[in-house]
Amino acid sequence: MTAPSNSQTHPMISVVTVNYNTAHHVLRCLETLSVDTHPRIDRVVIVDNASSDDSKVQLSQLSEHVQLEWNSENIGFGRANNQAMEHVDSPFVCFINPDVRLTDKSLSSMVSYLETNPEVAAVGCAMVSRDGEVAAESFRYEPTKTASIAKYLHIPKAVRRALGMPDYYMGIDRVNDQKDPIDVEILSGACMVLRVEAFREVGGFDPDFFLYWEDTDLSVRLRQKGWKLRVLPSIEAIHFKTSSQSRQSLQFWLQFGRSMRLYFQKRAQQRQ
């Protein structure tokens, strides 16, 4: 692991987002990412994964400062992000979901933190719901198979604790009042700022993950290379959780389960 160059006085950041039938959310997200509020933004790259709605009409009206990539088929979340990275030449990149809204200067603050902490590959922020509650997903342990299955099956927390099952999240009660940076094992892919150097060192997102668990896998591979991951609780982002795939749908649970199985198969192969 090597530290980034400090040759640039004000390093720039690229923003990458993937769209699939959520153009209205992309437009709202970009409203919070203007150059006025985030002066370090170098470029914005949007990859459309063959949306079937009017996304092309809506997104085609964006300014010339936004680079649009149109896919003829849905190639998956991780692969689409990797595709966008082919157009990124800034030292830092922010991966952000369309349904996330950032506060003013937050990107600059996250980049500044990475500049002064060369051992850190990536940072996240406190993800909050629309009513202002900090989401448990902001602070995550590396998942065990037992904790993941319990979460997948919606086993109540009280039951999990009574049975001595490991936690999936670090616990809001432990971090809710924290303002100092917190070391985490997994960063949420809904909004993370990374060193491009570190992202490329590990080969980017694993394209075998079509959707879900790709951020967990990336986080593990970064830490295996010796990098640190941290959350900056003083920086907040609103996560509306309005994805293109309903979390109550059969399709969601089937895909989540496939990705979870793939993740643990990869970890088992590494131990052999």
- CATH, residue 137: 3.90.550.10
Residue with tokens 């099956």: 153
Is 86 a domain residue?
yes
The tokens describing 3, both together, are: 């530290």
Q: How many domains does the chain have?
A: 1
Is 193 a domain residue?
yes
Is 235 a domain residue?
yes
Paired residues of 270 in beta bridges: none
Is 4 a domain residue?
no
Is 7 a domain residue?
no
User: CA 157, CA 159: separation in Å to the nearest integer?
Assistant: 5
pLDDT, tens digit (0-9, with 9 covering 90-100), for 97-128: 999 998 878 898 999 999 999 999 999 999 88
Residue with tokens 């590396």: 142
Is 3 a domain residue?
no
Is 174 a domain residue?
yes
Is 253 a domain residue?
yes
CB 219 within 8 A of CB 143: no
Strands of 97-144, DSSP E: 100-102, 120-128
pLDDT, tens digit (0-9, with 9 covering 90-100), for 164-197: 888 888 876 556 667 789 999 999 999 999 999 9
Please report, for the chain, how many H helices and E strands are present, in that order.
10, 9
Can you give the pLDDT of all 272 residues of the chain as single tens digits?
A: 534 444 346 789 999 999 999 999 999 999 888 766 788 898 999 999 999 999 999 999 887 779 999 999 999 999 999 999 999 999 999 999 999 998 878 898 999 999 999 999 999 999 888 888 888 888 899 999 998 988 888 888 888 888 888 888 887 655 666 778 999 999 999 999 999 999 999 999 999 999 999 999 999 999 999 999 999 998 989 998 765 555 557 888 899 999 999 999 999 988 87
List the domain range (segments joined by +) for residue 238: 13-271
Q: What predicted TM-score, i.e. pTM, was given to this entire model?
A: 0.90
Closest CA to 190 of 17, 50, 34: 17
Q: Which residues contact 17 (CB under 8 A, 6 or more apart)?
A: 26, 29, 44, 45, 46, 47, 95, 96, 97, 98
